[in-house]
Structure 1
Amino acid sequence: MTDIVKILTRKNSLRKQCQDLSITDIEKIIVDLSDILKEKEAFELERVEADREKNAKIDMIRKTMQEAGIGFDDIKDLVATSPKKKVEAKYRITDANGDTHEWSGRGRTPLAFQEYFDTQGVTKDACLIK
């Protein structure tokens, strides 16, 4: 929880922070918070309505499929899916606990590998899977 949230959600903390503010400043804060609340409520109503519409469409599709005697198994092969190919591990280490870690070499260096490199004084090339 951020400091501002802690202050805003604790009445005594909020009171303390507002001691040096003028009434005009406090009124402005209240107006701003009220505006933010209204925006958030409107966004939430839009999200709920969009979910309701989507679920209604899904129900209509289910009903149409049921009436046509079509099940999900009949159409699942038509749905285009492209499963991600898992990249083979290129590097392997065994840490101090005896746990084996593998890494493809892509992306950020995993913490276990970085610690291993730092403590063992080796590079990733020394960990290549042969």
Structure 2
Amino acid sequence: MADFLEILTHGRRLKAQLKGLALDELQEVIGKMQAIAAEREEELAAENAANAERLAKIEEIRKKLAEEGIGLDELGAVVGGEAAPRKKRAPRPAKYEITVDGERLTWTGQGRTPKAIKERLDAGASLEDFLIK
């Protein structure tokens, strides 16, 4: 696609590529490209009109709010404005434990398996062997 776009946007390359086309074929290509360009212009005009309509509605609503004496900050507070701060959940209780070199390591069972437990599991131990009773 990049090569095609490079050819289309570079005058000499485009001329070299179109050199082998007959005049009627060249005019057909030009006609198709003009149709595509016209279609794009219509889409852009419709998009701009929709945008202008939307902006007009926003301005109308802003004026009504100003007439009623309502500020945008008040409106945000009523609607929910700022998001409520997220509550942190309590840490999960440890479910598994292992003692390594006199140090007790615990694991909730979520996330990455601790290295010491993983080594023992690989050696044939069962996860139930590490359950906290």
Provide TM-score, normalisation by structure 1. 0.59
Letter in 1 for 2:9: T
SS of corresponding position for 1:51: helix
Deviation at 1:78, TM superposition (A): 3.8
Distance 1:33 1:72, change over 3 A: same
In angstroms, what is the RMSD of aligned CA positions?
2.7
What's the counterpart of residue 15 of structure 2?
15
What count of residue pairs does the alignment treat as equivalent?
Answer: 89
SS in 2 for 1:50: helix
Structure 1 window deviating more from structure 2 (72-81 vs 49-58): it is 72-81
Q: Name the structure 1 match of 2:72.
A: 72
The structure number with the bigger radius of gyration is: 2
> What are structure 2's unaligned runs of at least 5 residues?
87-110, 116-133
Post-superposition, which runs of at least 4 consecutive aligned residues in structure 1 deviate over 3 A?
77-81, 124-128
Instruction: Show structure 1 runs of 5+ residues with no match.
Output: 86-123
Change (3 A) 1:21 1:49: same
Report the Cα offset of residue 48 of structure 1.
Answer: 0.8
Write out per-residue CA displacement over residues 5-34 of structure 1, whole angstroms, 9 at most, x where no aligned residue: 111111111110011111122111101100
